[in-house]
């Protein structure tokens, strides 16, 4: 099969997934071994192991449906506190602080300011310096999303680095917002697609359609 398969799993399943499952797949004529592996450390909840039997867990439907947090923001927090390189904890106070600082305090105001400016300025050709900065961050993201060097924290930092680098040129707000839609798309697809569409982009955010 030409389909690439990727196995994401916790550190405690390394032997069973990388040896036993692969051996079975290699031994069976109709099975295909995994092409890539991404192994992560444990993520705890308020310092303790997730446990469905003790109801010490967070269900996605609950956090999305019973709190003001949209899925994009939850995903942003989880990516920023990724457990690829070390153990990570889902702390409710930490989550609230992150949302207040990064989403409400940083990203949302930047978006509102750029949207207001984009409505006042007619988009011209994207400046070469802006394109150079964008491509540099997209290359960083691409490396961070490769299986051997998987690092969601770098994907998140690229989003906020873009806002820092490109925060002063109001006449280029259209392109700044379009760049944000591209960089945020792997983590915040709903927001990115709405923003991309509002800016006149077709389909999903893609660098091939950036100048259209």
* Tens of pLDDT, residues 49-81: 988 899 999 898 999 999 999 999 999 999 999
Q: Are 11 and 40 in contact (CB under 8 A)?
A: yes
| Residue 69, φ and ψ in degrees, nearest 5 | -80, 120
Beta strand spans in 46-191 (E): 88-90
Provide the 8-state DSSP code for 164: H
Share of the chain above pLDDT 70, in %: 98
Residue 121: phi and psi, rounded to 5, are -105, 130
Does 155 score more than 60 pLDDT? yes
Q: Could you report the per-residue pLDDT of 99-135, keeping only the tens digit for each?
A: 999 999 999 999 999 999 999 888 888 888 889 999 9
For the chain, what percent of residues have pLDDT higher than 90? 67
- pLDDT reported for residue 194: 96
pLDDT of res. 139: 96
| pLDDT at site 126 | 87
pLDDT of amino acid 203: 92
14-63, pLDDT tens digit by residue? 999 889 989 988 898 888 899 999 999 999 999 999 888 999 998 989 99
- Helices (H) and strands (E) in the chain — how many of each? 10, 4
């Amino acid at each position: 099969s030409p389909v690439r398969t990727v196995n994401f799993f916790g550190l405690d399943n390394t032997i069973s997934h990388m040896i036993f499952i692969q051996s079975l797949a290699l031994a069976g004529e109709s099975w295909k071994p995994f092409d890539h592996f991404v192994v992560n450390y444990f993520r705890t909840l308020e310092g303790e192991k997730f446990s469905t039997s003790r109801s010490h867990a967070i269900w996605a439907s609950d956090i999305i449906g019973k709190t003001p947090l949209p899925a994009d923001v939850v995903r942003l927090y989880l990516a920023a506190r990724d457990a690829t390189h070390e153990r990570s904890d889902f702390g409710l106070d930490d989550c609230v602080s992150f949302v207040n600082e990064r989403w409400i305090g940083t990203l949302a105001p930047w978006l509102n300011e750029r949207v207001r400016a984009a409505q006042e300025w007619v988009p011209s050709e994207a400046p070469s310096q802006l394109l150079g900065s964008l491509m540099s961050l997209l290359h960083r993201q691409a490396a961070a999303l490769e299986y051997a060097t998987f690092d969601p924290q770098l994907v998140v930092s690229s989003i906020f680095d873009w806002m820092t680098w490109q925060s002063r040129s109001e006449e280029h707000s259209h392109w700044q917002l379009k760049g944000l839609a591209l960089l945020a798309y792997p983590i915040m697809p709903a927001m990115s697609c709405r923003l991309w569409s509002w800016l006149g982009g077709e389909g999903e955010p893609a660098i091939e359609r950036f100048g259209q």
